[in-house]
Structures are given as structure tokens and as C-alpha cells.
Amino acid sequence: MQINLNTTDVDWRFEQAEQYLPVRLSTSYFEAYGECIVIVANRVEGMFTNISENKDSEVFISLMNRELYEEVKEKVLSMEYWIPNTHYNTFNGLADGVQKKIHLDGSIF
């Protein structure tokens, strides 16, 4: 996944959803940080959510953590909701050339 963002473009007013449906999971290498987990997920609002990646999907990036990777992998394969359990800083950026909300693990980035 190609990620481009300006870390000065923080979206201070954006509120994360309580739950997400992860639709894609991958790893990516970032020069200053090493291998990272990249989670593409859709907001769960009410009883419905999109089950495939779309223009409104959000991207979560965290340092490689085998437990988190396995947890999200299981959620993707079983189409279960995921609740982010860490603080993420939200930025506006491009993911594969599409404008998206990109959430970076606040303890690292």
C-alpha cells in the first residue's frame, strides 16, 4: 500500500468510531520505523457497514506486533468487528492515491 501524508495535517476534530470492520490487512516497511501493520477498515455505524474497501475506508498503521496482527487477521477472515485498543493520531492523507483518514499509532508516531 502506498501511503502519503503530511504529519502537520492533523485532524484534531475527527472522532474515531467505537468499532470497525477490518477489510484488508497487510504489512509495510517504513524507513524510520521498520515493519508496520496496515489495517484498512470501515466504520460500524448502527447495524450496517460496508464489507469491502471503498472511498470511505480508514487506514490504521501500527508497528509490527504479532498479537495485534493475528487478532486483526482473525477478524478479517471471520468478518467480525474490531475495536482499536490504543490511541491513534488522525491525519488526512493518500492511501493508494485515494484521500483517506489515516490513523497512526499515537505511542509511536
- Give residue limits of the domains in the chain: 3-105
Model pLDDT for residues 12-31, shown as the tens digit of each residue: 888 889 999 999 999 999 88
Q: What topology is assigned to 3-105 in CATH?
A: OB fold (Dihydrolipoamide Acetyltransferase, E2P) (2.40.50)
Task: Spell out, as residue ranges, where the chain has pLDDT lower than 70.
Answer: none
Torsion angle, CA of 5/13/42/36, rounded to 10 degrees? Answer: 40
Q: Is the pTM of this model over 0.85?
A: yes
What's the rounded Cα separation, in Å, for the pair 89 and 75? 23
Model pLDDT for residues 96-107, shown as the tens digit of each residue: 999 999 999 988
State how beta strands 98-105 and 58-63 pair: parallel
Question: What is the overall mean pLDDT for the chain?
Answer: 91
Comparing C-alpha atoms, which of 9, 5, 101 is closest to residue 58? Answer: 101
